[in-house]
Amino acid sequence: MAKSDTNKNPAKGDVQEPGRRDFIVVATYAMAGLGAAAVAWPLIDQLNPAADTLALANIEVDISKIAVGQSITVKWRGKPVFIRHRTADEIARANDTNLDDLRDPQVDTARAEKPEYLVLVGVCTHLGCVPLGQKTGEVRGDYDGWFCPCHGSHYDTSGRIRKGPAPTNLEVPPYSFLSDSVVRIG
Amino acid sequence: MSANQFKSPVVRWIDHRLPVFSMLHHTAHDYPTPKNLNYMWNFGSLAGLSLAIMIVTGIVLAMSYTAHVDYAFDSVERIMRDVNHGWMIRYIHMNTASFFFIVVYLHMFRGLYYGSYKAPRELLWMLGVVIFLLMMATAFMGYVLPWGQMSFWGATVITNLFSAIPYVGESIVTLLWGGFSVDNATLNRFFSLHYLMPFIIAGFVVLHIVALHRFGSNNPIGIDTKGPQDTISFHPYYTIKDVFGIAVFLLLLAMAVFFFPNAMGHPDNYIPADALQTPAHIVPEWYFLPFYAILRAVPDKLGGVLLMFGAIAVLFVLPWLDRSPVRSARFRPLFRIFFWLFFVNAIALGYLGGKPAEGIYVILSRVATAWYFLHFLAILPLLSMFETTKPLPKSISEPVLGSSGRTA
């Protein structure tokens, strides 16, 4: 059994070339590391949204009852979404805007799949308040869209920022029309 | 503690101001451990591991659990169905609780067999009994949280015990409940205390280990180490042995979690709690069954309560009940027989605790309870006075190494 020349005298610490003991030590630590990672992953991943939260990631909204000129607010992923059934006048004004006047230039057609229905996330892009303009009688701001009372941001009939501290236009969420009367958001 | 061989200047800077690295080095490398420890000495580290697993999984579960009577049961089901890996984390938490008790019972039986509770380790033993008591309180409160039928009715039965105390009993129970029955106030406070107690346990574990390190571990022949020829350094020998033990433990735990996750639980706890309907047989979790059997064996309510707590109190004073100068059962043939009788009796008590309190089970429970106390209060003291023990070897190494095993 005198084959262990490679390890010389294992009792002394002066092994020059790697031997069997080093292999097993490294292998043990490597397995321990893999094990620790395998344990850590589920504990971290459980922080991610659960199945019931993900299920609420998409909602279907019936828009057939919204009269022309009327707006509704729905809750999507914990935030308000404005759906406005725009008048012809509002659509025209949105299209007629010179892009140079816009802080965040975007054409209206890029923001509304069907021009009659505008779907926007109702959160001011400044510091997160919910702008006014949804209910009848509420202030709509100088551009007849929405007005954020917190710091005075004015949005136009396409939800684009025109005046005030907000840096970007009101966000357009991912949405699609499942039919003429049902829109799916998210 | 000074002049340590740490190469890294960062480590030396920290260690000079907060000697945590020196402490770890001393605990692992310098700490002499008897070289004859067998696998019964693995259970301490397994208990520590179990505590760590319970704390980690518990904190994670608490992120998704709602401690309100209207939401608790559903929040647990949500964890099981909707939370990513929630089912696994929940099953790990509930099965590790059982494994924690298995491991601690084996750890305690090791102590009983090898006389680890004897001088100078009396305080070490008593700290262990405190940890055991805290574990039982923690487990009891934890089991209430899912708010199933067994959660509710187990809580009702056990909190009602305190009404046995004369004069102040009823007031104490009302105080514990925070109301007129186990209800939302009870659930909320149990959640708070259940979260708290594991950290108190951890504190006592630290004291337990400090007490252990004062005189070092006992060993299977129960003889003090006489010098370096009787010991080996904890690292790497016992670290790797503990790692191996942990691997076996985790394998068994994984088998339970993934294949038999509800085997040690009670199906009635998957029924939401109903204050107007008592289950046919209320049983606590298996690790409480021996004490439950003792409780029910006594026909008197207060007597049952006193004897149940007495069963644990008797553990506290064990070092003074068994005064034999010989530690290990290896050299105490009569003690060994009674030890195994005690062990069988403990299993019997556990079995009887799960049975309805009728017929033959009542008689057997009383016999087993009597034997339990007879063992501690009569047999052990008598044995320490009259037992003829076998001759002890001179040292740990001596029987193996002969004369070179003796101190110089």
Place of tokens 């556990």: B350
What is the pLDDT, as a whole number, of residue B369?
97
> Which of B84, B237, B242, B246 to substitute to test the interface with A, most A CBs within 10 Å?
B84
Q: How far apart are CA A25 and CA A38, in angstroms?
A: 20
By Cβ distance, the residue of B63, B78, B85 closest to A52 is B78
pLDDT value of position B338: 97
A51 and B89 within 8 Å at the Cβ level: the answer is no
Given A28, A32, A45, which is nearest B84 (Cβ)? Answer: A45
CB contact under 8 A, A28 and B81: no
Catalytic residue from among B213, B274, B281, B390 = B213
Is position A154 annotated as part of the catalytic site? no
Chain B contact residues (CB < 8 Å to A): 56-57, 60, 63-64, 78, 81-86, 88-89, 240, 243
Whether residue B224 lies in the annotated active site: no
- Closest alpha carbon within chain B to A35: B247
> Could A48 and B84 be called an inter-chain contact, meaning their C-beta atoms sit closer than 8 Å?
yes
Give residues 18 to 57 of A whose Cβ lies within 8 Å of B.
28, 32, 42-43, 45-48, 50-53
Among the partner residues A32, A42, A52, nearest to B85 by beta-carbon distance: A42
The model's pLDDT over A81-119, given as tens digits with 9 standing for 90+, comes to 999 999 999 999 999 989 998 999 999 999 999 999 999
Give the β-pairing of A117-121 and A79-85: antiparallel
| Minimal Cβ distance to A52: which of B60, B82, B85 | B82
User: Cβ distance B42 to B245 under 8 Å?
Assistant: yes
Percentage of residues in chain B with pLDDT exceeding 90? 88
Is a pLDDT exceeding 50 seen at residue B387?
yes
Closest residue, chain B, to A25 (C-alpha): B240
In SS3 terms, chain B reads as CCCCCCCCHHHHHHHHHCCHHHHHHHHHHHCEEECCCCHHHHHHHHHHHHHHHHHHHHHHHHCCCCCCCCCHHHHHHHHHHCCCCHHHHHHHHHHHHHHHHHHHHHHHHHHHHHCCCCCCCHHHHHHHHHHHHHHHHHHHHHHHCCCEHHHHHHHHHHHHHHHHCCCCHHHHHHHHHCCCCCCHHHHHHHHHHHHHHHHHHHHHHHHHHHHHHHHCCCCCCCCCCCCHHHEEEHHHHHHHHHHHHHHHHHHHHHHHHHHCCCCCCCHHHHCECCCCCCCCCCCCCHHHHHHHHHHHHCCCHHHHHHHHHHHHHHHHCHHHHCCCCCCCHHHCHHHHHHHHHHHHHHHHHHHHHCCCCCHHHHHHHHHHHHHHHHHHHHHHHHHHHHCCCCCCCCCCCHHHHHHHHCCC
Of A32, A42, A48, the CB nearest to B88: A42
All residues of chain B having their beta carbon less than 8 Å from the beta carbon of residue A34 are none
Alpha-carbon distance B57 to nearest alpha carbon in chain A (angstroms): 8
pLDDT tens for residues B83-130? 999 999 999 999 999 999 999 999 999 999 999 999 999 999 999 999
Among B236, B26, B217, B201, residue whose Cα is nearest residue B100: B201
The pLDDT tens digits of the residues spanning B48-61 come to 999 999 999 999 99
Across the interface, do A46 and B64 touch by the CB < 8 Å criterion? yes
Mean pLDDT of B363-385: 96
ipTM: 0.79
Q: How many Å lie between the alpha carbon of B85 and the closest alpha carbon of chain A?
A: 6
Structure pTM?
0.87
What local confidence, expressed as pLDDT, does residue A14 receive?
52
Cβ of A50 within 8 Å of Cβ of B85? The answer is no
Work out the pLDDT band at B30, boundaries 50, 70, 90.
confident
- B-proximal residues of A, 52-81, CB under 8 Å: 52-53
**Bridge pairing between strands A182-185 and A59-62:** antiparallel
Q: pLDDT tens for residues A20-31? A: 788 988 998 999
Catalytic residue among B45, B107, B163, B242: B242
